[in-house]
Chains A and B, each alone.
Chain A
Amino acid sequence: KAGVTQTPRYLIKTRGQQVTLSCSPISGHRSVSWYQQTPGQGLQFLFEYFSETQRNKGNFPGRFSGRQFSNSRSEMNVSTLELGDSALYLCASSLDINLNTEAFFGQGTRLTVV
C-alpha cells in the first residue's frame, strides 16, 4: 500500500513569489492535514481538509490557503512569500482525523525562501 506522497521534495523561491505544494494521501484516506515545521516553533497546524471541505484551520495568515480534490489529493498555496516561510511543510493522511484515527506523514516539502 503506497504511503503519503508529497511533491516537490525541495523548493527554492524568492520573496514575493507564490508556491503550490501537493499531497496525495494513502488510498482510502479522506482527511489531509498540513503542518509547518520550523526549528523554533516545532510543528504548527495549518489546516485540515475532509471530502473537499476545509474543516479546521490554524492561526496562519490568509497568504496560506489550500484545497482538496475529489480524489482526496490536496494542495496548499502560499502567496507573497516571506523569508519566515522557509520551513518543512508536512502533510498527514488519516481516515478521519476528527475521529482520532492515526495520521501518517509524507516525506515533506522543504521550502527555502531567499
Chain B
Amino acid sequence: QKEVEQNSGPLSVPEGAIASLNCTYSDRGSQSFFWYRQYSGKSPELIMFIYSNGDKEDGRFTAQLNKASQYVSLLIRDSQPSDSATYLCPHGSSNTGKLIFGQGTTLQVKP
C-alpha cells in the first residue's frame, strides 16, 4: 500500500464548477496535512494546511480531514483556468515529521 494515494487524473472541470481532490494515507499517527499546488516547471506552493478533523476554509479553498478514515480532501469553489495545476497532499510523518508525498493530481479547468 502506498503511503499517500492520489488519483493522478487529469481531473477536468468546467470554469466556475467545484473541483474535488482526494487523498488517502496510511500513517495513522500523522498529525499534519498539507495541500500544495504545483504549476508545470515550478516548485510546490503551500495553499492549505489542516491539523484537526473537520473542515477548514480559506477563500475558495476548503480542506477536509477525517483521521479515522485516513482521508483528506480539497474543494476548490468557482474553479478558474488559473487553478489548472498539479495538487499535492503530503502529510507529516508521525516518526520524523518529514513530508510524505503522493504522485499528485492534475487538475484542468476548461474555460
On A, residues with C-beta under 8 Å from B are: 33, 35, 42-45, 48, 55-56, 58, 88, 90, 92, 96-100, 102-108
Q: Are B96 and A55 in contact (CB under 8 A)?
A: yes
Contacting A at CB under 8 A, from B29-83, are 31-32, 34, 36, 42-46, 49, 51
What count of chain B residues pass the 8 Å CB interface test?
23
Q: Are A98 and B97 in contact (CB under 8 A)?
A: yes
On B, residues with C-beta under 8 Å from A are: 31-32, 34, 36, 42-46, 49, 51, 88, 90, 92, 96-104
Taking chain B's interface residues, is the majority helix, strand, or loop, or is none over half, making it mixed? loop
Q: Are A108 and B43 in contact (CB under 8 A)?
A: yes
Shortest 4 CB-CB contacts between residues of A and residues of B: A100-B32, A98-B97, A43-B101, A105-B43
Chain B: minimal CB distance from A104 (Å): 6
Q: Are A43 and B32 in contact (CB under 8 A)?
A: no
Q: Which residues of B contact A43 (CB under 8 A)?
A: 44, 88, 90, 99, 101
